[in-house]
Amino acid sequence: MSESSSTRLSVFKTYKLYVGGKFPRSESGRVYEVTAKTSSGGKGKWLANAPLSSRKDARDAVVAARKAFGGWSGATAYNRGQILYRVAEMLEGRREQFVREVGEAEGLSKSKAAAVVDAAIDRWVWYAGWTDKIGQLVGGANPVAGPYLNLSTPEPTGVVTVVAPQDSSFLGLVSVIAPVIATGNTAVVIASEKSPLPALSLGEVLATSDLPGGVVNILSGKAAEMGPHLASHQDVNAIDLAGAGAELAKELEIAAADNLKRVLRPQPVDDWTADPGTARMTPFLETKTVWHPTGSLGAGGSSY
């Protein structure tokens, strides 16, 4: 058969989870259909079958996040900033892919999708710049009576579960993941159930951007199925309910109380492109306070 008369079949992309720096399929073997969103808000063409994560996948993600926490929280803030900036660099190189995926996922025109992707890239740069500055903003020296220095410094909380926004599948996703890891935490992310593909593709970018495996773990599927298990998990330290509906958020907040997790309640966001400020970084920081006596040091008699 000549080349001109042959018919070439398209190679469809197989989307996988991103857990521990690897790309497993769901251990359950389940998938669910993902379709494009039309301008009218309805279902469009079939896009892919996304993995339908199970509770076992969620447990594996927590194990990976906990394993990665020591190295990531112990890295210098400057190094974390370099890595977040590298994520922005890698996204810039795959911009057209994400413009297409975001446009299909959210029913946006190419120009609007491009604006969303550009904002998401800029968001990584924004948080990259904050990694070595947030300590000065929320920490400092406290005035005390007596010959002591009293210093407060922020430290990461630990493993944070993030229920990603449902309607902003990429910019909203980046806006809730980046502040968590910028401050030294590790994350287990439940992607938008109806539009998970940009999140799963983000995992491919993170895997090639110097981010240690396990710092971010991305699951696709039903938040109502995985959320309660993660909210009650004893090795999860905090949960961001950004993409949880009112009923699910209440259920997860109750479950999170079992081991006194920090909970960031859903906060309606009308425009994810707006200046994010620092509000999403501080909820997942603990404050460590150190007392130190003042006085002379050695023969020189200098004090501090």
Place of tokens 């492109």: 273
Sort strands 302-303 and 296-297 into parallel, antiparallel or unpaired: antiparallel
pLDDT given at position 81: 97
pLDDT given at position 291: 81
Q: What is the b/e burial string over 224-245, where b = at least 16 CB atoms within 10 angstroms of the residue's CB?
A: eebbbbbbbbeebbbbbbbbbe
Domain positions in the chain are: 31-293
**Residue-wise pLDDT tens digits, 232-256:** 999 999 999 999 999 999 999 999 9
Element containing residue 2 per DSSP (H, E): none
Binned at pLDDT 50, 70 and 90, residue 4 comes out as low
Residue 70, CB-side half-sphere exposure with 13 Å CA sphere: 3
Q: Are 175 and 240 in contact (CB under 8 A)?
A: no
Residue 52 phi, psi (nearest 5): -100, 95
Q: Are 48 and 12 in contact (CB under 8 A)?
A: yes
pLDDT given at position 101: 97
Binned at pLDDT 50, 70 and 90, residue 9 comes out as confident
Residue 227, CB-side half-sphere exposure with 13 Å CA sphere: 27
pLDDT given at position 267: 87
**Residue-wise pLDDT tens digits, 223-233:** 999 999 999 99
**Residue-wise pLDDT tens digits, 141-187:** 778 888 878 878 889 999 999 999 999 999 999 999 999 999 999 99
Per the structure block, which two tokens stand in for 208?
A: 């090639």
Query: What is the radius of gyration, based on Cα positions, of the chain?
Result: 22
pLDDT given at position 3: 55
The CATH topology of domain 31-293 is: Aldehyde Dehydrogenase; Chain A, domain 1 (3.40.605)
Task: Identify the DSSP state of 18.
Answer: B
Q: How far apart are CA 238 and CA 302, in angstroms?
A: 43
Task: Answer with the residue of higher pLDDT: 293 or 127.
Answer: 127
Biggest distance spanned by C-alpha atoms of the chain:
92
Q: How far is CA 25 from CA 34, 56, 62, 179, in A?
A: 16, 12, 16, 27
Percentage with pLDDT > 70 across the chain: 94
Evaluate if residue 201 carries a pLDDT over 80: yes
Element containing residue 187 per DSSP (H, E): strand 186-190
Closest by alpha carbon to 243, among 176, 160, 159? 176
Place of tokens 């309607």: 167
Closest by alpha carbon to 203, among 192, 223, 189, 193? 189
Binned at pLDDT 50, 70 and 90, residue 6 comes out as confident
Report the pLDDT averaged over residues 260-275.
92
**Residue-wise pLDDT tens digits, 61-91:** 999 999 999 999 999 999 999 999 999 999 9
Report the pLDDT averaged over residues 253-270.
93
Q: How far apart are CA 190 and CA 269, in angstroms?
A: 18
Q: Are 58 and 235 in contact (CB under 8 A)?
A: no
Evaluate if residue 299 carries a pLDDT over 50: no
Helical pair 223-231 and 55-74, crossing angle rounded to 10 deg: 50
Q: Are 153 and 290 in contact (CB under 8 A)?
A: yes
Element containing residue 83 per DSSP (H, E): helix 77-93
Element containing residue 162 per DSSP (H, E): strand 159-163
